[in-house]
Amino acid sequence: MPPRGPSKLNSHIGHRMKCVLQDARTFVGYFKAYDKHMNLILVDCDEYRRVRRKKGGTSSSVEEKRTLGMVLLRGEHLVSMAVDGPPPQHQKGGPFSANRGPGGGRPAGRGISGPGYVGAPPPGSMAPARGWNGPPPGMRGPPPSMSRGGYQRSNYY
């Protein structure tokens, strides 16, 4: 999560950025996030690097491109960043309108249904609520030799 407050980097989130590393590789992608160590997340990222090729007696330099996708760049190796282009233009209806599938979205949780909490003690209660100190329905109770308070003295002898 990016640091809060006004920051020049916060204003560039979503833009297409060109990042140069110490080993002269260049990464171009959409800037999504950073942290206090200046680690960066780039999506739809391409890597560019210069490779020397020896052909005969002469050496030439060729730039290779690799498509990587989502990349985390370590801030320790980052030398420079520059804006390479504006943020992508989204379709009408939001960024995820074209990616919808046939399913419906529902909250996922631990089975807690809502404010009623049907079948559960009230949230935040430290002690069991009234009627919650027995076995759950469908389970048998303790054996007849056990009393409500645990083992009886006669069970030890």
pLDDT digits (tens, 9 = 90+) for 71-122: 999 999 999 999 988 888 865 555 555 556 676 766 666 665 555 555 555 5
Q: What is the distance between the alpha carbons of residues 2 and 12, in angstroms, rounded to a whole number?
A: 11
DSSP secondary structure code for residue 26 in this structure:
E
| pLDDT tens, position by position, 20-38 | 999 999 999 999 999 999 9
Q: Is the C-alpha dihedral spanning 8, 9, 14, 18 positive or negative?
A: positive
* Nearest one of 26, 36, 37 to 71, comparing CA atoms: 26
C-beta separation of 49 from 78 below 8 A: no
**What is the value of pTM for the model shown?**
0.54
The residues that bridge with 80 in the sheet, in sequence order, are 20
**Which residues make Cβ contacts (< 8 Å) with residue 5, sequence separation at least 6?**
none
